Amino acid sequence: MDLTSLPGFRDFYPEQMALRDHVFTVWREVAGRYGFVEYDGPPLEPLDLYVRKSGEEIVGQLYRFTDQGGREVALRPEMTPSFARMVGARAGGMPKPIRWYSIPQLFRYERPQKGRLREHFQLNLDIVGEAGELSDAEIIAAAIDMLRAFGLSSEEFVARISDRELIGGLLAAHGVAPEAMGAAFAALDKLDRESPEWVCGRLEEAGVSERSARELLGIPELDLPALLGRVGDDPATLEAGERLRRVFDHLESFGLGAFVRFDPSLVRGLAYYTGTVFELWDRRGEFRAICGGGRYDRLLAAVGGPDLPALGFGMGDVVLSELLKARGLVPEQPAAIQDFVICVTDEQRPAALGVVHALRDRGRRVAYDFAGRSVGRQFKAANQVGAERTIVLGPDELSRGEAVVREMSTGEEKSVPLGSILSD
């Protein structure tokens, strides 16, 4: 076979599909406990939907083309624009807050590397129509509970939490003008990857004095009270700090205090966050962020959706699946076959097919031999597919309305009435 799949695209063989199914099942289960309902949009959308949100620069990473009707279209690189359109069409008639989630497959033309492919599935979970900080705690708790439901403990991961408005106030108090705020955030975001000198240089370009820039280098070490002592007296900034404190209080009330940490160096790259931001990281630091999100109160209106406060997060399947594999948290699969029905001679076949079908109707996973092979080879086939038990139909047993049931793990055999097989 000389054709392969495209680079950065995955074939899901049954064992990989089972892991994907496990991830989706847990996501859906936890989203359900939080009262979220699932939606989906098209994987192909008008190109404008994405250009409008992210500007022309995103076009370089899009799978885009002109369709046969002359429309400029793109494979979805993210869910938020479709979400904004859909929620916008319905928001008026729906009780708030709206709690929706989706598990879209997303596409970006990037260089494939560890934890990053050209397609991935991403849980998107959002609350629309609620400005109070209890919803910020709710969304962070939902993200944490997702990982807990996979079997990860507070020793294995942490939610790093900050607030963009608070950090913005801190930067303003250190001399960053509104128009330089984006550059200053971008500089802070590089603190863990670039040298202190490099970050200082960028902050100074954003209007920060050398002394203030040096001071800002120390912010990752600050706790929330210490940081609040340095933000000056701007009321909005102080309120942002209070709000963040209450978010932590609520997370404590949820019993999730061990999973969270204030991290003022967390700003997240995306410009549209307006308040709380957070990311989940494995504590050993072996992987990229597992999940990221926050509050984006102005984004829905900006992309043509409803003017409603909103917040949410995205959690991809690639990093998460790698983490589950590394931590031994991929569950074992149940056997594909429970019952294997065996005919001693071809004469039992009609009865055997009746038994097969009756067992399936009762929800059992059943197989049998298609080819009229010997009893020995049928047992071998039953073993090969991992059947839990065999049900052997021979002429004598069948004439008495019985079959021989063998538990494959123990080898224990007994003759039982067919009726009991079909009703136990």
Q: Which of 10, 116, 230, 261 binds a second copy (CB under 8 A)?
A: 10
50 vs 25, 79, 82, 129, CA distance in Å?
Answer: 29, 10, 9, 23
- Per CB under 8 A, contacts with a second copy among 361-400 are 361, 363-367, 370-372, 381, 384-385
Dist CA 268 CA 295 (whole Å):
12
Identify the three-state secondary structure at position 56: helix
Report if residue 14 touches a second copy, rule: CB under 8 A: yes
Could you tell me where the DSSP H helices lie in 218-316? 224-228, 235-253, 299-302
- Spatial distance between the Cα atoms of 227 and 241, rounded to a whole number of angstroms: 9
Which residue of 19, 23, 26, 49 would you call a contact of a second copy, by CB under 8 A?
A: 49
Query: Does 48 sit near a second copy (CB under 8 A)?
Result: yes
Selected binder of a second copy within 78, 126, 145, 282 (CB under 8 A): 145
Query: In this complex, which beta carbon is closest to a second copy, that of residue 172 or of residue 318?
Result: 318
| Alpha-helix runs per DSSP H in 290-374 | 299-302, 317-326, 349-361
Tell me, what DSSP letter sits at residue 105? E
Residue 304 interacting with a second copy (CB under 8 A): yes
**How many residues in total does the chain contain?**
424
If one counts every other C-beta atom within 10 angstroms of the C-beta of residue 104, the result is: 21
Pattern 105-124, binding to a second copy, x per CB under 8 A?
x-x-x---------x-----
Query: Which residue among 22, 46, 271, 287 contacts a second copy (CB under 8 A)?
Result: 46
In the complex with a second copy, which residue's Cβ is closer, 44 or 222?
A: 44
Stretch that binds a second copy, among 154-162, 267-275, 322-330, 359-367 (CB under 8 A): 359-367
Cis peptide bond N-terminal to 97, omega within 30? yes
Contact 34, 138 (CB under 8 A): yes
Q: Does 423 bind a second copy (CB under 8 A)?
A: no
Binding mask 220-259 for a second copy (x = CB under 8 A): -----------------------------xx-xxxxx---
Among 175, 292, 294, 305, binds a second copy (CB under 8 A): 305
Whole-angstrom distance, CA of residue 250 vs CA of residue 227: 20
Contact call for residue 13 and a second copy (CB under 8 A): yes
Query: Helical H runs in 327-374?
Result: 349-361
Scanning residues 313 to 332, which ones bind a second copy (CB under 8 A)? none
Among 19, 77, 88, 260, binds a second copy (CB under 8 A): 88
- Whether the CB-CB separation of 59 and 109 falls below 8 Å is answered with no
Cα–Cα distance for residue pair 143/41, rounded to 1 Å: 22
- Strand bridging mode 276-282 / 157-163: antiparallel
Residues 58-77 contacting a second copy, CB under 8 A: 60, 63-69, 71, 73, 75
Site string for a second copy, 166-205 (x = CB under 8 A): ----------------------------------------
Q: Binding residues for a second copy, how many (CB under 8 A)?
A: 102
Angle, alpha carbons 325-330-333 (nearest 5°): 140
Q: Are strands 37-38 and 98-102 parallel, antiparallel or unpaired?
A: parallel
Using CB under 8 A, pick the residue from 125, 128, 140, 141 that binds a second copy: 141
261 part of the interface to a second copy, by CB under 8 A: no
